[in-house]
């Protein structure tokens, strides 16, 4: 009751999961993003496709047993895609089993007309994505058609994707064929899939920006999370040899070889610009 009065109690959803409290939403989400359209020189080459791997899972079990209502963070997913589309790139949207993409709709910027328009434009693709297994079976031979793999953030990116062998195969394929890998916030959890079957971590000694565990540990105090995280992403990546640049959930972005990363939702716009400018430069 006391937490409800203060606005720091997580909101109970109809499926018994919890979304962030009123205070957490006020502090951590915005109704309008910092996105502004950029006029890029359109890419005209063959490598115009980008595979976007989304989560199809919604609920993350916290250490106390409560479920956090999550998925892909809409700002982290859509802003980079908007920049890339403006430069002439197209998308193949996929989830592990082909079930619909799940977004954290409580974080959707409802007063941002650019984002709303883009989300609506790709609505059918989000509702009917491809299966990752089908991509592995049919598209890995089409290396000349792809420029990058993009894995958006949101806590949901830590559900299933780090343990998915198809994700590991796709990231290894991208790495081997000099395609770019783009990810941000909790999306770098996907990079753990490269260690499945006792394989070495592909990104050892890479610099990257990742959402800090220290911030995840604090957010239950304001009701963003309904409990402590089941495991720590940034510490896991550090233990495998990643060099994480940021200590805050800020707008840090990083380019190291063919890996492009961002620290948080605040980095989504800058990540989109960095990824787009990098691809246009490298794919001349």
Return the closest-CA partner of residue 171 out of 155, 145, 150, 142.
150
183 has which bridge partners? 151, 261
Residues 6+ apart with CB under 8 A from 227: 62, 63, 64, 65, 66, 68, 220
Task: Determine the length of the chain.
Answer: 284
- Catalytic amino acids? 185
What's the start-to-end Cα distance of the chain, in Å? Answer: 60
The span from the CA of 175 to the CA of 163, in Å, is 18
């Amino acid at each position: 009751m006391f937490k409800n009065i203060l606005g720091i109690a997580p909101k109970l959803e109809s499926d018994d999961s919890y979304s962030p409290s009123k205070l957490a939403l006020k502090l951590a989400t915005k109704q309008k993003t910092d996105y502004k359209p950029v006029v890029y020189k359109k890419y005209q080459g063959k490598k115009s496709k980008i595979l976007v791997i989304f989560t199809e899972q919604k609920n993350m079990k916290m250490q106390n047993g409560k479920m956090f209502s999550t998925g892909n963070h809409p700002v982290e997913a859509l802003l980079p895609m908007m920049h890339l589309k403006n430069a002439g790139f197209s998308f193949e949207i996929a989830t592990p089993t082909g079930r619909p993409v799940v977004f954290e709709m409580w974080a959707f910027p409802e007063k941002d007309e650019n984002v709303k328009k883009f989300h609506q434009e790709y609505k059918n693709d989000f509702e009917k994505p491809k299966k990752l297994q089908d991509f592995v079976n049919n598209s890995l031979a089409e290396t000349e058609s792809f420029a990058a793999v993009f894995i958006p953030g949101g806590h949901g990116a830590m559900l299933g994707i780090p343990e998915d062998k198809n994700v590991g195969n796709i990231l290894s394929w991208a790495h081997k064929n000099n395609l770019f890998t783009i990810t941000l916030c909790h999306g770098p959890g996907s990079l753990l899939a490269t260690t499945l079957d006792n394989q070495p971590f592909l990104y050892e000694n890479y610099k990257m920006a990742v959402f800090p565990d220290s911030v995840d540990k604090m957010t239950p105090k304001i009701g963003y999370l309904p409990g402590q995280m089941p495991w720590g992403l940034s510490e896991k990546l550090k233990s495998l040899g990643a060099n994480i640049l940021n200590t805050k959930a800020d707008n840090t972005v990083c380019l190291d070889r063919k890996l492009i990363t961002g620290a948080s939702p605040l980095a989504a716009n800058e990540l989109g610009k960095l990824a787009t400018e990098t691809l246009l430069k490298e794919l001349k």
